[in-house]
């Protein structure tokens, strides 16, 4: 249920992100989803990739600061109110979300990647409410 996300520290330098995507392409690693948190001087790239451990290794070898973080992938209907309903459940249970990002998968569903301190609690309450969660096995092949 817990998914491994790759986080990479990137300085704001032209071409830095391209260097990273080039390395992943050369090593045949697919990026399923990503987001960038940006500040004036640097950004944090967060991505869900196929073969996260291998991706982390190859990026480290190329001098990137990489961290693997646990996240949850929550699947919500791709329609009005779909995200709201899921978030309502999380907030009703008093769980704080650190950050999240989403991608639509084309089959009338959207996947929301969530990072929180209490990931186990999120999994528990979402399952109670019969919300679908992304399985680790699926996600890396998305």
* CA–CA separation, 56 and 7 (whole Å): 9
Stretch near other proteins under the rule CB under 8 A, chosen from 18-26, 65-73, 89-97, 132-140: 65-73
> Binding to other proteins by residue 10, rule CB under 8 A?
yes
Angle between helices 119-128 and 82-92 (to 10 degrees): 120
Stretch near other proteins under the rule CB under 8 A, chosen from 18-26, 60-68, 102-110, 124-132: 60-68
> Binding to other proteins by residue 64, rule CB under 8 A?
yes
* CA–CA separation, 77 and 93 (whole Å): 21
> Binding to other proteins by residue 136, rule CB under 8 A?
no
* CA–CA separation, 5 and 31 (whole Å): 11
* CA–CA separation, 8 and 10 (whole Å): 6
- CA atoms lying within 13 Å on the CB side of residue 99: 14
Eight-class DSSP state of 64: -
> Binding to other proteins by residue 39, rule CB under 8 A?
yes
Q: How far is the CB of 132 from other proteins (least distance, A)?
A: 25
Q: Which of 2, 22, 99, 104 binds other proteins (CB under 8 A)?
A: 99
Question: Footprint of other proteins on this chain (CB under 8 A)?
Answer: 5, 7, 9-11, 37, 39, 41-42, 44, 46, 60, 63-67, 69, 98-99, 115
């Amino acid at each position: 249920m817990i998914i491994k996300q790759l986080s990479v520290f990137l300085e704001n330098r032209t071409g830095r992100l391209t260097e990273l995507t080039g390395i992943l392409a050369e090593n045949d690693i697919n990026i399923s989803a990503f987001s960038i948190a940006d500040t004036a001087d640097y950004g944090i790239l967060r991505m869900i990739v196929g073969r996260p451990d291998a991706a982390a290794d190859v990026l480290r070898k190329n001098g990137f600061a990489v961290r693997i973080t646990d996240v949850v992938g929550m699947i919500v209907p791709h329609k009005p109110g779909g995200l709201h309903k899921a978030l309502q459940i999380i907030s009703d249970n008093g769980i704080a979300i650190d950050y999240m990002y989403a991608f639509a998968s084309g089959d009338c569903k959207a996947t929301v990647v969530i990072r929180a301190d209490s990931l186990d609690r999120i999994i528990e309450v979402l399952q109670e409410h019969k919300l679908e969660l992304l399985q680790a096995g699926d996600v890396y092949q998305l």
